[in-house]
Structure 1
Amino acid sequence: MKAYQCSAIRNVALVAHSGAGKTTLVEAALYSSKAIDRMGNVEDGNTVSDWDPEEIVRGISISASIVPVEWNSTKINLVDTPGYFDFVGEMLAPLRVVEGAVVVVSPSGPEVGTEIAWKHLNDAGLPAMFFVNKMDKENASFFKAVEGLREVFGKKVVPVQLPVGQEDDFRGYVDLLEGAAYIYDKGQIKRSNIPEPMAGDVARFREELIEDIAELDENLLEKFFNNEELSLGELKKTLKKGMASRDIFPVFCGCALKNMGVCAVMDAIVEYMPAPVDNSDGAFSAFVFKTIADPYVGKMSLFKVMSGFAASDSGVFNSTKESGEKLGQIFVLRGKKQIPVDKLCCGDIGGVAKLAVTSTGDTLCDEKKVVVYDRLQYPEPNMAMAIEPQSEGDEEKISNGLLKLNEEDPTFKVIKNNETGQFLLYGYGDVHLEVIVKRLLSKFGIGCQLTVPKVAYRETIKGKAKVEGKYKKQTGGHGQYGHVWIEFEPLRDKEFEFQEKIFGGAVPRQYIPAVEKGLRECMKEGILAGYPVVNIKATLLDGSYHPVDSSEMAFKVAASLAFKKGMQQASPVLLEPILHVEISVPEEYMGEVIGDLNKRRGRILGMQPDGHLQVVMAEVPEAEMFRYATDLRSLTHARGSFTMRFERYEEMPPQLAQKIIEQTKLAKEA
């Protein structure tokens, strides 16, 4: 593949709700450009962009896939992004390296995935066009789809095509700017006159389109109001300008599976989408937006050339890590296929294998002209499962495998809970975590399983108790003797406090630290279920000693005996961690969300508006929140989001505490 100059490059993301047909649109574009001689099918698992085994099995895109298409002397880097919510990171990263997007929509109108994708396009400030796909399907309605798009995204959404027929009768489209119809016949498309029954609709929509475009330019608007003819060149030029400024979002239609309307979309990408910013004369710099962990090839780093050009077998500088790197053979990816190239010009996207220190979000540049681009920002993953090896001794293998996968997918994180001893895998949902586990097996041969995390409970007391602890042991020589009286009582805001009120040397000074040490060691494991003990005050009141047999160890043991008695007599209780949770949802889902929180033993603290959303603030036990990411998505049709943080420990209801105690006893017996 030849090197394309900046002005002849278009970087375009395909975004949509899952199942809208992005991957099929890529296949049709490849076929139309003669890059492939037969279109693959998602159901058959033989498409160019969905090549990962998990994508084939699940029938959904999981990773962003780069597919360059050569069209009208232009190189279009199509980036097929996942529409499934668990893989939002694979949409966000490519949005940093494209100049526009095609939003693929089903003929029933926008879905929640469309709305989420649109929000990210807004945040990135990217121009976009819509492609209403699957116009051949039953109940397909272009006008209903457009009405839904305008209702959700505003009046800037404007059709530039109308379909000729729909459902089984879909056979082409009318280009409103040209005022001509394009009809498909046996796989061939022919320009023809507008069908008579459509004349009224075409005239009305064309008039609206011309007015919308004219409003983007004062000179055109004056001509329009003076009933002067606006040339096709003027309209197209202004439409391109309006797209770049995000003042207009054109709508196209077609059926990607039958390769109908796809060529028109490709033409529009070339004609209307902006080219990358031309920094060809500057020193080399590139932004690494994706890493692929391949067990055979090694690590592959995908990057966009931001200035200058990238050349194979050249030295560069990683300004993020402040380390030199060597670019080997540069390539462009078409799905999983690597196409070697000698160089990549400014604005182009490619990759290189086996960089030593470079990871996703890093900047590569000329060492003599250092630049650092902002790193990628991802939403915080908030669904956790414990990850455990299927075979003993594989913990280190899992850790190393996850480290490599994290280079490929930086949106998940792994944290060791030192209290429970479990490794917690955090992701965006069930499917996200399942895919990570499957990739550990398929890429590195590491078998593991996901389980519900253990809760780090605590134990404390509610009452007071004054108890005796005496340790006396005679062994023939020196014996062991330690004797204490200790009062235990609840303590607020501190985990532990030790005092002594010894008079007359009942317990010698040198043994008092041993008493405190013995108590602190006992607090690591409570008497109810073996959880750490907190919020206790212990006061050493009295005791006795033996001038020969007493020792630090004896007083430590005496203190531990007193501790167990004191815990039993001072009304011990189990504490559970309470989380502060903030849930952002559209108002229509407030009832379901609050009702669900109540079922989780949640305490509603309040509500406040945040733009078009409502934020529900609540406190909820951690044990009730492990699957909340999945449950909230179901409750709100994926329109809700939440954050949570640890707040405090709180006494657990007795009946639930008893279940935990019994489960712990059974586990110990087993």
Structure 2
Amino acid sequence: MHSIDITNHYMLVRINRPESKDEFKQMLLALKQYVKEDPHVVIYTLDTLKQTIIMGTGEQHLNEILDRLVHKFDLNIDAQRPEVLYKETFGEAVNSEGSFIRQASSIGRYGRCHLRIEPQARNAGYEFINHIHSEGILPYEYIPSIDDGVQCSMLDYIVSCFPIVDVKVTLFDGSHHPMDSSQMSYKIAASIAFRNGLKQSGFVILEPIVSVTFNGVADDVVILEQCLHSMKWRTERFQRETGLIDVITEISMREWLSAKEEIQSIIGQKYECHVELRYYDAIPEHLKEQIVKESSLRSASHTDLLYWERQSKENEEWYMNEFIDEFWEET
């Protein structure tokens, strides 16, 4: 699997289904080209609502993608407003087993692994450690498939509909069958172990905390600060040069999106706003149920637009057409 880093992603945008299959295909091809050029673009598809979801590194990044789809590729894009990208992580360390054992006529499937899964510090990312060093326990050829299965599970829908971040996974035990074991069996077994582990551990939903910097004329700063203080936001002032000032506040992206239009209507064109991701932190517990319920990623699946090309350059179009036909069907 292609390793995908979403550390700096904190917003998403949903695109409604185009009017025809051909337009949908052209959009996927355009997004595929964009993904090749910009590794920070991550794509999901939501079959229930027939939407394409783009994750990006902020509202400006997402607007640039949409603008390019419209003007460079001449596509008719029906996009919704950018939204907060929530993430999740494990609540505590757990040991979890995953087994995928099947027997159908003469063809068997066997994969079994034991994982220790631990939450890491914020923005520490993903770490995979192999503690099995005996081919008799588990042949080395299957270990990358276990890593792959875990990473696929982190990106796809798990429990609360958000991608999983900041975990350390240690492979410490497993078993194999001399005839029935396969790489796919261990990938599935690892996914099962990871999902079971999250259910045992409980999950923590994380939200982006951003700094919002207002650049403008010092004479108008009182109006701005009164507005921000009325929302109980703490601010800091930084004098830049004669007559100019920066006012900075640090808040959740959720709060900023809900208040942005009101603030801009009060300050008008007097200040420019710059938003920058600072870190992710746990959401208030009383909001957890509501945020899960309203998740835009509920039942969405990570869609690797380069997968078909990696599978077979000659058959790429056939794979894509199959995906489009399946996606287009009414559920």
TM-score range, shorter chain: 0.5 to 0.7
User: What whole-Å deviation, never above 9, does each CA across 1:315-340 have from its counterpart, x for those lacking one?
Assistant: xxxxxxxxxxxxxxxxxxxxxxxxxx
User: Which residues in structure 2 correspond to 1:530-545 (within 5 Å)?
Assistant: 530-545=161-176
| TM-fit CA distance, 1:497 | 0.5
Post-superposition offset of 1:560: 0.7
Q: Does 1:480 align with 2:109?
A: yes
Distance 1:385 1:533, change over 3 A: closer
Q: After TM superposition, list the pairs within 5 Å mapping 1:86-485 onto structure 2.
A: 392-393=19-20, 418=43, 421-422=53-54, 451-485=80-114
Is 1:560 the counterpart of 2:187 in the alignment?
A: no
Equivalence for 2:228: 594
Match of 1:489 in 2: 118
Q: Does 2:144 correspond to 1:513?
A: yes
Query: Aligned residues, how many?
Result: 252
| TM superposition shift of 1:605 | 6.1
* Structure showing greater Rg: 1
Distance 2:138 2:156 in 1: 26
- In 1, the alpha carbon distance for the partners of 2:22 and 2:260 equals 27
Question: How far did 1:465 drift?
Answer: 0.4
Matched, 1:625 2:256: yes
Name the amino acid aligned to 1:553: M
Quickly say closer, same or farther: Cα 1:613–1:656, change in 2 above 3 A: farther
The answer to whether the 8 Å contact 1:515/1:555 transfers is: yes
Q: Provide structure 2 residue ranges, at least 5 long, that are not aligned to the other structure.
A: 1-10, 28-39, 45-51, 61-66, 301-330
Aligned residue for 1:474, secondary structure, equals strand
- Is contact 1:583-1:642 (8 Å) kept? yes
How many angstroms apart in 1 are the aligned matches of 2:152 and 2:117?
16
Q: Secondary structure at the match of 1:421?
A: strand
Q: Shift of the alpha carbon at 1:618?
A: 2.1
- CA–CA distance in 2 between the matches of 1:465 and 1:510? 25
Q: 1:637 to 1:385 in 2, by over 3 A?
A: farther
Q: Give the drift of 1:613.
A: 4.6
Query: In the aligned structure 1, how far is the partner of 2:59 from the partner of 2:173?
Result: 51
Cα separation, partners in 2 of 1:426 and 1:483, compared to 1, 3 Å: closer
**Partner residue, 2:6:** none
Question: Structure with the greater relative contact order (CA < 8 A, sep ≥ 6): 1 or 2?
Answer: 2
Cα distance in structure 1, aligned partners of 2:79 and 2:187: 41
Aligned 8 A contact 1:387 1:451 in 2? yes
Deviations 1:31-83 (A, max 9, x none): xxxxxxxxxxxxxxxxxxxxxxxxxxxxxxxxxxxxxxxxxxxxxxxxxxxxx
Structure 1 pair 454–513 and aligned structure 2 pair: CA distance change class (3 A):
same
Contact (CA 8 Å) 2:102, 2:108: kept in 1 or not? yes
TM-score calculated relative to the size of structure 1: 0.33
What SS does the aligned partner of 1:533 have?
coil
**Amino acid in the other structure paired with 2:283:** M
Show the counterpart of 1:660. Answer: 291
The question of whether the paired residues in 1 share the 8 Å contact of 2:142 and 2:183 is answered with yes
TM-score by length of 2: 0.63
Shift of 1:641: 2.6
What is the CA distance between 1:656 and its match in structure 2? 2.2
Q: What's 2:317 paired with?
A: none
Q: 1:528 to 1:395 in 2, by over 3 A?
A: farther
Q: Distance in 2 between matches of 1:423 and 1:506?
A: 40
Q: Which residue of 2 aligns with 1:646?
A: 277
Q: 2:293 aligns to what SS in structure 1?
A: helix
Which letter does structure 2 place at the counterpart of 1:620? I
CA RMSD of aligned residues (A): 3.9
2:215 equivalent among 581, 584, 587: 584
Deviation at 1:543, TM superposition (A): 1.3
Question: For the residues of structure 2 that align with 1:558 and 1:450, how far apart are their CA atoms?
Answer: 37
Instruction: Kindly indicate whether the alpha-carbon contact (under 8 Å) linking 1:606 and 1:617 is maintained by their aligned counterparts in 2.
Output: yes
Partner secondary structure for residue 516 of structure 1: helix
How far apart in 2 are the matches of 1:387 and 1:472?
38
Instruction: State which of 262, 265, 278 in structure 2 corresponds to 1:634.
Output: 265
User: For residues 77 and 252 of structure 2, what CA distance do their matches in structure 1 show?
Assistant: 28
Contact 2:161 2:298 in 1 (8 A): no
